[in-house]
Amino acid sequence: MPADNACSATAIAHPNIALCKYWGKRDAALNLPSTPSLSLTLAPFRTRTTVTWGAETDCVVFNGVENTGEESRKILLTLDRVARSMATAGAPRPPCRVETENDFPTAAGLASSASGFAALVVAADAAARTRLPDATLAALARQGSGSATRSLQGGWVEWPIGERPDGADSHGRQIAAADHWDVRMLVVLVRSGPKEIGSTEGMNHTMRTSPYYPAWVAGAAEDVVQARAAVLGRDLERLGRVTERSALRMHASMIAADPAVLYWKPETLLALEVVRAARRSGVPAWATMDAGPNVKVLCEAADSGVLVERLRGAGLDVQVLVPGGPARLLEPATATSP
């Protein structure tokens, strides 16, 4: 039963896929990145989250099942941070109920933590009636999961490493809206189960043990400069080259860790080969991969049909995503009657 002054709000957010990757942290406590990144927010995949601020007890329900593990701990920690950002900071956070669901595989390298923490901070801000400034919400999302700071924005988003020690200048910023460029991102689903090593653990281990990690960081800023210019000039060839290079260099850094972080499966290589063969045959397409074996393929809208046919022809499972909008409230916050 909710408390007398309980308030609920529901938000949705789309995942994003980085074209220039974030892999490594310059400050673990504030979750600040070692590399700048640039991403595209993607629909129709989405997370939908309802926060009730003032419930009987803390409770997190994840895809219909109560969760008491690491995910719920991180979610409740984010609500603690929202409470600390309030004007009445110092007052204890009331118990909260969080119900969150993804309409796509969770923790499989499809950016579910990005859409998850973006939807969470938007819903929590409305339910707690805090009305925090956008930059504060972006920092709260970043502390939940770095890539979430990009999912607050729609379309093409850059996340700089920032210069300030407190990280106030390190959050997602839109460089072009979703309707700027009608590209497609094809998702080749190689495995839908949760990944063996989470991205936080994978990047920390890469930082500690990979001799290639410094080289990865050294090239990242120039990649973002190139990618930004390519997005603004709608130059797919230029963007595609940087996209594939950034993903492969990130994976090279983790494969060189000790022991290696190796997410690839046989179908991962098969998908990469279909993409490279498509390019050789004159169909422009470039691949990217995150902390998992799934492959995403960037292409023009007009070429997506033939690429889907070729990938499915190779026995692969493919879904088509389009540029998506920002995280948003579904309905105004409502007082929950006891």
Give whichever of 102 and 199 is closer to ligand DP6, judged by the CB atom. Answer: 199
CA–CA dist 25, 200 (Å, integer): 9
What is the separation of C-alpha 271 from the centre of its chain, rounded to a whole number of angstroms?
22
Q: CB 104 → ligand DP6: shortest distance, Å?
A: 14
What is the separation of C-alpha 337 from the centre of its chain, rounded to a whole number of angstroms?
34
Q: CB 71 → ligand DP6: shortest distance, Å?
A: 11
CA–CA dist 280, 271 (Å, integer): 14
- Contact between 200 and ligand DP6 by CB under 6 A: the answer reads yes
Q: CB 336 → ligand DP6: shortest distance, Å?
A: 30
Contact 33, 102 (CB under 8 A): no
- Contact between 244 and ligand DP6 by CB under 6 A: the answer reads no
CA–CA dist 148, 14 (Å, integer): 10
Q: The tokens of 33 are what? A: 């990145």
Q: CB 195 → ligand DP6: shortest distance, Å?
A: 10
Residues contacting ligand DP6: total by CB under 6 A:
14
CA–CA dist 161, 146 (Å, integer): 11
Give whichever of 22 and 213 is closer to ligand DP6, judged by the CB atom. Answer: 22
Q: Which of residues 213-232 bind ligand DP6 (CB under 6 A)?
A: none
Contact 287, 295 (CB under 8 A): yes
Q: Which residue is nearest to ligand DP6 (CB)?
A: 146
CA–CA dist 338, 329 (Å, integer): 23
Q: CB 16 → ligand DP6: shortest distance, Å?
A: 7
List the x/- string, 116-155, binding to ligand DP6 by CB under 6 A.
-----------------------------xxx--------
The residue to which tokens 């797919």 are assigned: 236
Given 6, 10, 11, 31, the residue binding ligand DP6 (CB under 6 A) = 31
- Contact between 113 and ligand DP6 by CB under 6 A: the answer reads yes
Q: CB 146 → ligand DP6: shortest distance, Å?
A: 3
Number of C-beta neighbours around residue 63 at 10 A: 11
Q: CB 44 → ligand DP6: shortest distance, Å?
A: 19
Amino acid at 90: G
- Contact between 37 and ligand DP6 by CB under 6 A: the answer reads yes
Q: What burial class does residue 274 get, using C-beta atoms within 10 Å of its C-beta: 0-12 exposed, 13-18 middle, 19+ buried?
A: buried
Given 291, 295, 297, 327, the residue binding ligand DP6 (CB under 6 A) = 291
Q: Which residues bind ligand DP6 (CB under 6 A)?
A: 18, 21-23, 31, 37, 113, 145-147, 199-200, 290-291
